[in-house]
Structure 1
Amino acid sequence: MLNKIMTALRGKAHETGQAVVDSQALRILDQEIRDAEQHLKASKTELARLMGQRQINSDKAATLEKKIDELEQSAAAALEKGEEQLALEVAERIVALSEALDAEQHIVAEFDTSIESLRSAIRNTENQLRQLKQQVSVVKATESAQRAQSAVAARHSGQNSAMGSAMESLERIRERQALDSAQMKAAEQLSAEESGSELETRLKAAGIGASDRKADDVLARIKARKSAS
């Protein structure tokens, strides 16, 4: 049981860590790009150092080649004058310088290999960084668009909620007004019953009791008076 609990805790810690990484993904990516750019800068610095050192050894080799050419001319001149021993000494010097030249040329060749390898790595890294930055730009644009869409959706949801609440409030007002209207009509009816006006209205409607004078009745009465006179 304890092992299961520890496993669950490790799983929870992993999920929490992953959630933090996910929430900071773009920030982490930006930092990783900056780190890669720093490494690229360091590589270019190292390339410049190698190229400088290669140039030094190349200059040494060129100097040795020049010196060997001069000595070979000197040895030839000594032989022409019959200075065999002198020519031999010059030849020995040429051998020593040639060995030094071979060493310098070997070093220069190794520098050339390292420089070309580093140059290739720098080119590849620059291409990858350029492509990565382009992709990050697209990702950031998509992220911004999605945040905007999320905000619009949230506002739309809020508006729908507000409209629903407003409609509910309007319906409650209408119900209250209908109730108030019914109560006022009931009060008027009770008042009419108490005063007797409601009873007179009902008798009048039944044709009982006093009725309203009509124009025809008045005209008939005037005609009757005129005929009597």
Structure 2
Amino acid sequence: MKLEHLAALNAERAARRAAVLVTPLESGEQRLVKAAEVASDPLAEAIVERLRLGKSGVVETDSGGYFLTVQVPPVRLVVTGAVHISQALAPMARLLDLDITVIDPRTAFASPERFPDVRLLAQWPEEVLKEAPFDRYTAFAALTHDPKIDDPALVAALRSDAFYVGALGSRKTHAKRLERLRALGFSDADVARIKAPIGLPIGAVSPAEIALAVLGEVVAALRLDASRGHAS
């Protein structure tokens, strides 16, 4: 790998942007394709598919074979609410290689005893998100039922490229949530991004079942949306 390619890959990694190193199997003349450049690349379709999968591999085309070295940022799952669902969700998320962060300013809930080995921040979401804003490799789940905690994070998520935005609550609760967001200037198209009631419709009842439904919906959004990773 050329030094300029390595430097560029490191820069994209630091900025949490995807990139693919294309290596023709015959000539070995490599080129780096950044996320914003994918659409104009001759191998766009193959690169999009590899970015969707998040895996490197060989592709065969009419012009020959290529090895695509895929670099995608670690996928983050940000949750507001150190609640029972979050307690069940955290270990499941780790099994899926999701980098999970739980945010809740209520220290009675956000305790290391309740969330061992979890990145737990007993702060208000707006404080946390100033330092680590949402990006296209971030999923967000609002789980507190408390507008003072969930709403600021929802606002930040809707103003970002977060690939998934979900919120816990009944249809009545969600309707009130939408009223508040529209009052802040969000359009119907904006708020339609919110998956609510959160999670796949599997009839979940217990916290663990709801956590499973949420993660299923997150994975579906991650793997089934082929436009991710290369949109500008």
TM-score of Structure 1 vs Structure 2, range by shorter chain: under 0.3
Larger helix proportion, structure 1 or 2?
1
TM-score by length of 1: 0.18
Larger radius of gyration: 1
Question: TM-score, normalised on structure 2?
Answer: 0.18
